[in-house]
Structure 1
Amino acid sequence: MPALPDHFLTPEELATLLRLPSVETLYAWRKKRTGPPGFRVGKHLRYDPDAVRAWIIEQTIQAA
């Protein structure tokens, strides 16, 4: 996975970084509360790269 940028990520950026089939996967994860935590800026969904990194580490530990 490429390094995470130092700005809040859009769902499209995060889907690309995680190499997901579509951004809809992120929305499904959000609905199930299983994906990386996101937050709203007005009507826009954003992801903090530090929270995404922590989520990835958590997933790696659970998979081990």
Structure 2
Amino acid sequence: MTDLSVSPWLTRDEVAARLRIPKSTLESWAAERKGPPFGKFGRHVRYRLSDVIHWENVQVGDWQ
């Protein structure tokens, strides 16, 4: 089991690259309250890697 307290935080650019989608798609999803969950640190948006992985797995489950 993954220890969430040590899961690294990723930038929007890093998540976009991981998902192979434009950064603007993540921005749109955030405005629509869709996509992987994220946190804001001041004006900086970050995604916890464990949350992104969980979100990916849920999406794959929806395809099956």
TM-score by length of 1: 0.83
Which runs of 5 or more residues in structure 1 are unaligned?
1-5
TM-score by length of 2: 0.83
Moved over 3 A (4+): none
What is the RMSD computed on CA atoms of the aligned residues? 1.0
Structure number with bigger Rg: 2
Which runs of 5 or more residues in structure 2 are unaligned?
1-6
Q: Select the structure with the greater relative contact order (CA < 8 A; seq sep ≥ 6).
A: 2
Q: Give the structure with the larger strand fraction.
A: 2
Percent of paired sites with the same residue: 34
Q: Give the structure with the larger helix fraction.
A: 2
User: How many residues were matched structurally?
Assistant: 58
